[in-house]
Amino acid sequence: MEKADTPLAQVRANIADACQRARRDPGDVTLVAIGKHHPADAIVPLLEQDHRDFGENRVQEAQAKWPDLRARYPDVRLHLVGQLQSNKAEDAAALFDVIHSLDRSSLVKALGKAFDKTGRRVPCFVQVDIGAEEQKGGCAVSDLPALIEEARAADIPLAGLMCVPPQGIEPAPFFALLDKLASDNGLDGRSMGMSGDYETAIMLGATHVRVGTALFGKRD
């Protein structure tokens, strides 16, 4: 049961407020609680407040942390939000319920094979390098239509698009661009917005917001 005056209650209230201002249904926005680098003990309080969508950055960390938690809370939905190495595709397909970081042709091929082998077809967001930053993962905007076509041909279920805007710059134009790209390519989901800007992202169409610090505090 949700407790009053907790970080989770505050974030949920902020989401509801942003949805009201945007004339959207709060039920259309999924809050993904990012638990990377936080121990299982930090995650349990959110589970006890009936939160079920959680995100991790790395396959290895999720493998170490989540089997025991899932045994106790089998209805958890686990999201991979960090970059995925092709050689970890099969592990990711077995463990995660949503992948937010499909960003290149080699990963399309690896995930296609992993889905065929595991019998699980995990919904994927295509990560877009929305700010043209070489150091970040993501598909270049100009390459996006071809990657989407390749993913569809490989029978990978596409949930939508994902982005991480450049730091230190107003994020709204980047969120608006991702929203347009998703619409142009016939995709419903927009995974965008983190602790510092999720309300702005919701105003501009986010369907999934990835919030860590506002829920768990700063990581060591």
Of 14-23, 113-122, 132-141, 176-185, least confident by mean pLDDT is 132-141
Report the predicted TM-score, pTM, of the whole model to 2 decimal places: 0.95
Strand partners, 189: 160
Residue 105 neighbours by CB distance under 10 Å: 14
82-99 average pLDDT score:
96
Grouping H, G, I as helix, E, B as strand and the rest as coil, residue 168 is coil
> Cβ(190)–Cβ(160) under 8 Å?
yes
Tens of pLDDT, residues 157-170: 999 999 999 988 99
pLDDT of 62 above 60: yes
Q: Which H helix or E strand runs over 56? A: strand 53-56
Give the CA diameter of the chain: 47
Using CB atoms within 10 A of its CB, is residue 75 exposed (0-12), middle (13-18) or buried (19+)?
Answer: exposed
CA distance 28 to 88: 31
103-120 pLDDT, tens per residue? 999 999 999 999 999 999
Q: In angstroms, rounded to a whole number, what is the distance separating the alpha carbons of residues 216 and 12?
A: 14
88-97, 134-143, 192-201: segment of lowest average pLDDT: 134-143
